[in-house]
Amino acid sequence: MCGRYASSRRPDELIEEFDATAHLAHEVDASWNVAPTDEVYAVMEHPKDEERQLRVVRWGLVPSWAKERSIGPRMINARLETLAEKPAFRKALAVRRCLVPADGYYEWYPTEELDAKGKARKQPFFIRPTDGGVLPMAGLYELWRDPTKADDAPDRWLWTCTVITTEATDELGMIHDRMPLMVERDRWDEWLDPAREGAALLDLLEPAAPGRLTAYPVSSAVGNVRNNGPELVAPLPLQA
């Protein structure tokens, strides 16, 4: 994943879709250009609670042992192949697994056309569920204690997440060699259950089945994080 996705569904839609309870201090605006460090929605089951929750977290995982939050932007994705080995993800994999709902995600494909700097121009593609449903991306979340905040400060704990990726399937691999992993609906309970050992649940994660996702070219405007609107996911007109 190159680091952008769309998430426009409202909390009530996600609560119904994932059969979750809202644990929201505030709502997040709909976004068709989610970027690293943005606030996003995540579905989880916290070890201290027994209910499935919808929470607001920041995209870019900050491990509990990190000295500062600046590590987050480098942790927006976690590779499945090394998930159980990396210190940044091992603890979260054990008990803090989540689902990150998306409308779809963006990837950039290098074309034969050169830009003003003589480099291959990259064409953005939007990749979404063919049926128009929610894309339940597999993720991990963490809680980081901000040492600059007082013990009674309401924002002393920073909630963050990462999206788990794998090698792209043949069809989508033509656009980019990585893609987010999905968790099928009948496996949500197992994946989110903090009482289950995460390393034993990796078989629950899988790329989208052939035909499950649709990819089409979209405007290069998505490359600028200041651009944000439903027009970003509109298919480009077919060339005559």
- Partners of 114 in the beta sheet? 120
Residue 78's SS3 state is strand
Separation between Cα atoms, residue 89 and residue 209, nearest integer Å? 26
Cα–Cα distance measured from residue 163 to residue 180, given in angstroms and rounded to the nearest whole number: 7
Residue 76, C-beta contacts closer than 8 angstroms, at least 6 positions apart: 1, 3, 36, 59, 60, 61, 162, 163
Task: Tell me which residue has tokens 């929605």.
Answer: 41
Which of 87, 140, 83, 100 has the alpha carbon at shortest distance from 6?
Answer: 100
- Angstrom distance (rounded) from CA 76 to CA 198: 19
Which DSSP letter does residue 9 get?
-
The answer to whether the CB of 168 falls within 8 A of the CB of 208 is: no
**Dist. CA 2–CA 112, nearest whole Å:** 20
Residue with structure tokens 């009674």? 152
Sheet with 213-217, side-by-side order of all strands: 31-34, 5-7, 104-114, 120-129, 213-217
Enumerate the β-bridge partners of residue 78.
164
Among 45, 98, 107, 142, the one annotated catalytic = 107
**Is residue 107 flagged as an active site residue?**
yes
The residues assigned a catalytic role are 2, 107
